[in-house]
Every structure is written in C-alpha cells, then in structure tokens.
Amino acid sequence: MLADRSTLAGLVERYTGRDGVHPTAVAGLTLFRATKTHESVATVHEPAFCIVAQGRKRVTLGEEVFCYDPAQFLLVSVDLPLSSKVVEATPDEPYLGVRIDLDLVCVGELMIDAAPAGSDAAPPARGLSVSPLDPPLLDAAARLVALLESPRDVAVVAPLIRREIMYRLLTGEQGGRLRQIAADGGPTRRIALAIDWLRDHFASPFRIEDLARVAHMSPSTFHQHFKAVTAMSPLQYQKRLRLQEARRLMLAEALDAAAAGYRVGYESPSQFSREYRRSFGEPPRRDMARLRTASPAAQG
C-alpha cells in the first residue's frame, strides 16, 4: 500500500520535534518544521524537489508568486534567489516540509537508461514550477524519510530510493525541466553555467558580453534565455544576490549597512539603502531589528 500524506507528515514530525531546519543522516534530505507563520525568508534556493507534508507555503521569484500545499510539490531546477513564507502553521498542526536535493548526474544517467519521451530542444523553461504530487512520488519520498528509522539501511537503500524519485520526476509533468538542465550543452545547462559564475562573482561588475561568453551564447540570445529561466535579467539577479548576502552579513556578522553594502559590491551607501528598502520593504537598520526578534523560519 502506498504511503499517504498523513504518513509523511507523521514521519517528518517525529524527526523534527522543534521549529527550524533539520539536516538528516540521509544525504540530500532535509526536514523543516514551523509552529507559526513567519516573515518572508530570502535565500538562494539550490536545485531541489520540495514537499509540504502539512501546512502551506508561498514562494516568490521576481514578481511571480507560487503557492503549494500537500497536494503539490515544488521543483527548483537551477539556483534561484527566492523569497519564501510559511502561510499556514499552528502549534497543533505545524508546517512540515521535506526537501530532497536534485541529483543531476543521476538524471543524466536515467535519460540514457530510461529514454523518457520529450524534446530537449524546447525553449528554456522557468527554473521553478509547482505541480500536482502523485501517489507514487509521495510514497517514494515517504520511504526515503522512513529510512531514518533504519540507520543501517541508509547507505544501501537511500541511493535506490533517490534514483526512483529522480526517475519519477523525469517521467512526470516536469520531466522537460529536468531534461533541459541535465542535457549537456543545452541552453538551460549553459544558463546554469552563467548562474554559477554570478554566484561566485556577484560582488564584481560584469559585462553582458562576458557573461554570455561563459554560457557560449550571443548576448541577445543569452539575455532572452536567462530571463526565461530566472524571471529576471542578469543585472537583477546579481542585485538580488548582493542584497541577500548583505542581509546575511548584517544579521550573522553584525556588520553595519555601509560595511555590508561595500562588502557585496556597492560603492554608495545611499544607493545600497535605497535598493535594500525597495527589495525588503524597510531600511537596513529597521529590518535588522525586526529580524533579530523574529522566530526561526523554515526554508523548505
């Protein structure tokens, strides 16, 4: 019998117990719990398959908003700067989430072994999507979490279940997105190379021509494909990376706004404060005061 949503929720609740982010002994598996809604959390989300076992969540990419609950799953196929917010959670029925990192090497192998139908030559798709969660995929995720009950089985069984999950994603509604990112030399894979470069050099100025060269594209084609995948231009993407890192530096390392802005590439403190307020809704000092009094937020 396939596991249902209540089974998965029970497993996540058993292995969290308190609010926050919970890495596990299963590689690539992270659990999340929150007993109340929280402020939006800005983060760079790496490629992953995410399930809400209980509660509801909202994710924002640029100006686009995606909501999902236990009936759907979130798929992120490239590194994306997102804002996420738990919008349904109580102490009696906490938000419970599961994140399973994508294994693109495994997806590439499955593309050869299983040869799922579909064209890799389609235009690049958005790097984030929400789709219905079907019973076999839910069951595989629940079996992966259930491995936490049998530590001695993890090393052998977890890779098999993760491979099954990658196969079900690849042959499901969002298989095209996975084929695009896993296909060596495809446009989405080349955009991912440019994203990697931006993440490593976000504090440095760049020319679109140079970034297009990283992706092995003409500047016009690169700009078009980058926006199709990320919902923003390369400069907007870089700005979000800078502002999110500055926010982290102020929160985690207690830097003041001027120092944090300079660290991430801003030369003008006033420009940094203006763009920070435009992005997060408040000037840096007020935002830090609010964040330091807020409860920990789930991010999966």
Instruction: Identify whether 270 is part of a domain.
Output: yes
Provide mean pLDDT across the span 237-243: 95
> What is the domain count for the chain?
3
Q: What CATH number is associated with residue 150? A: 2.60.120.10
Is the per-residue pLDDT at 293 higher than 80? Answer: no
**pLDDT tens digits, one per residue of 115-155:** 555 544 567 889 999 999 999 999 999 999 999 999 999 99
pLDDT range class, residue 295, cuts 50, 70, 90: very low
The whole-model pTM stands at 0.89
Query: Quick one: 170 and 52 in the same domain?
Result: yes
Joined together, the tokens standing for residue 128 give 């984030």
Query: Quick one: 129 and 195 in the same domain?
Result: no
Which residues are bridge partners to 43 per DSSP? 82
Identify the pLDDT of residue 118.
Answer: 52
Query: Quick one: 32 and 155 in the same domain?
Result: yes
Query: Quick one: 105 and 152 in the same domain?
Result: yes
Query: Quick one: 205 and 80 in the same domain?
Result: no
Q: Which range is least confidently modeled, 15-29, 204-218, 244-258, 280-294?
A: 280-294
**pLDDT tens digits, one per residue of 86-100:** 999 999 999 999 999
Q: Which range is least confidently modeled, 51-65, 80-94, 258-272, 285-299?
A: 285-299
Question: Between 177 and 165, where is the model more confident?
Answer: 165
Identify the pLDDT of residue 297.
Answer: 44
Instruction: Read off the amino acid at residue 269.
Output: P
Identify the pLDDT of residue 117.
Answer: 52
Provide mean pLDDT across the span 170-174: 91
Instruction: Identify whether 178 is part of a domain.
Output: yes
Provide mean pLDDT across the span 237-258: 92
**pLDDT tens digits, one per residue of 191-237:** 999 999 999 999 999 999 999 999 999 999 999 999 999 999 999 99
Identify the pLDDT of residue 298.
Answer: 40
**pLDDT tens digits, one per residue of 178-190:** 888 888 778 898 9
**pLDDT tens digits, one per residue of 40-81:** 888 899 999 999 999 999 999 988 999 999 999 999 999 999
Query: Quick one: 203 and 98 in the same domain?
Result: no
* Domain around 213: 187-232
Query: Quick one: 259 and 228 in the same domain?
Result: no
Instruction: Read off the amino acid at residue 233.
Output: S
Instruction: Identify whether 298 is part of a domain.
Output: no
Identify the pLDDT of residue 147.
Answer: 97
Instruction: Identify whether 299 is part of a domain.
Output: no
Query: Quick one: 240 and 177 in the same domain?
Result: no
**pLDDT tens digits, one per residue of 11-33:** 999 999 899 999 999 999 999 99
Q: What CATH number is associated with residue 283? A: 1.10.10.60
Query: Quick one: 151 and 16 in the same domain?
Result: yes
Identify the pLDDT of residue 115.
Answer: 56
Query: Quick one: 173 and 191 in the same domain?
Result: no
